[in-house]
A and B are shown apart, each in its own frame.
Chain A
């Protein structure tokens, strides 16, 4: 299950930020490594919400800075 989530997260990041798949490493920061701006990160979170049917509140969204942060948060939500 968690691999499925990881693959889907990576796919969304590739699509939204227009980066190469091998750049999307687990510890890659959206802003520092993948060239996202603040609006990109909001759009990413909205895309995650839509793709995984989860609600990501503002304070949680602020803490999602890396690819792994996103995978972990969504995995936790899906398990709950």
Chain B
């Protein structure tokens, strides 16, 4: 069950907490993993924890259109095989209340968190459609469903990923390509480390399973959606949030 042996997977944002965990679990299941992100040193570190076998590092800045458009081809070139699994995990936040939000706070988040997944999916689909198989998995967030003060840009992008994935799922379903979303709740990463203690306490009180999420919790959901076992699942959003929001 859940073997990904010999499959090529690209993970964006692979040096982050969730991205590295996704890469690790895909790798454990036998996938050849291409790690992408902006920080080459951090990517190399993740690569070395994977033992250096079946792993490639391809740095890219996804706020650059040309780099986003070309990343799939580079991943296929460096690994010498076509892409089976695309994991759109890269994302950034520029949190502030709307009334204080600058144009570039909005546009930069939309660019990296929503537009680059579109560009990557478009590039990946050319081959996937022809081969009649493929997996596109995007990491969204519970705030795309619930909203969150201070995150109008981020939650708009994450909600956008869900809408895009549903449309795409309908476009390419007949070609054996599935398109799904994993929406984490509050996971312990650098992104949530900055939350004040009082906010964390309050959050924990709202989580029936009584703890923050771990990057591995999210990665397991990605492994499932990437696997052959999830062949009849498309256009869905798998919420991984400890029961905090039941949708």
Contact indicator A43/B129 (Cβ below 8 Å): yes
Number of interface residues of B (CB under 8 A): 7
Residues of A within 8 A of B130 (CB): 43
Closest to B130 in A: A43
CB distance from A27 to the nearest CB of B (A): 26
A54 within 8 A of B: no
Contact indicator B175/A39 (Cβ below 8 Å): yes
Q: Identify which of B126, B129, B174 contacts A37 (C-beta below 8 A).
A: B174
How many A-B contacts if CB must be within 8 Å?
9
Closest to A46 in B: B126
B64 within 8 A of A: no
Question: What is the bound-complex CA distance between A46 and B126, given in angstroms?
Answer: 9
Question: What is the bound-complex CA distance between A37 and B171, given in angstroms?
Answer: 11
Contact indicator A39/B172 (Cβ below 8 Å): yes
Contact indicator A39/B174 (Cβ below 8 Å): yes
Residues of B within 8 A of A46 (CB): 126
Question: What is the bound-complex CA distance between A46 and B125, given in angstroms?
Answer: 12
Type the 1/0 row for B92-130, where 1 means its CB is closer than 8 Å to any CB of A: 000000000000000000000000000000000010011
CB distance from B76 to the nearest CB of A (A): 16
Type the 1/0 row for A29-46, where 1 means its CB is closer than 8 Å to any CB of B: 000000001010001001
Question: What is the bound-complex CA distance between A37 and B130, given in angstroms?
Answer: 15
Question: What is the bound-complex CA distance between A46 and B123, given in angstroms?
Answer: 13
Question: What is the bound-complex CA distance between A43 and B174, given in angstroms?
Answer: 13
Question: What is the bound-complex CA distance between A2 and B130, given in angstroms?
Answer: 27
Question: What is the bound-complex CA distance between A46 and B174, given in angstroms?
Answer: 17
Contact indicator A39/B126 (Cβ below 8 Å): no
Type the 1/0 row for B157-175, where 1 means its CB is closer than 8 Å to any CB of A: 0000000000000011011
Interface residues of B (CB under 8 A from A): 126, 129-130, 171-172, 174-175
Interface residues of A (CB under 8 A from B): 37, 39, 43, 46
A-B CB proximity, top 6 nearest: A43-B129, A39-B171, A39-B174, A39-B175, A37-B174, A46-B126
> What are some 9 contacts across the A-B interface (CB < 8 A)?
A37-B174, A39-B129, A39-B171, A39-B172, A39-B174, A39-B175, A43-B129, A43-B130, A46-B126
Given known contacts A37-B174, A39-B129, A39-B172, what 6 new A-B pairs fall within 8 Å (CB)? A39-B171, A39-B174, A39-B175, A43-B129, A43-B130, A46-B126
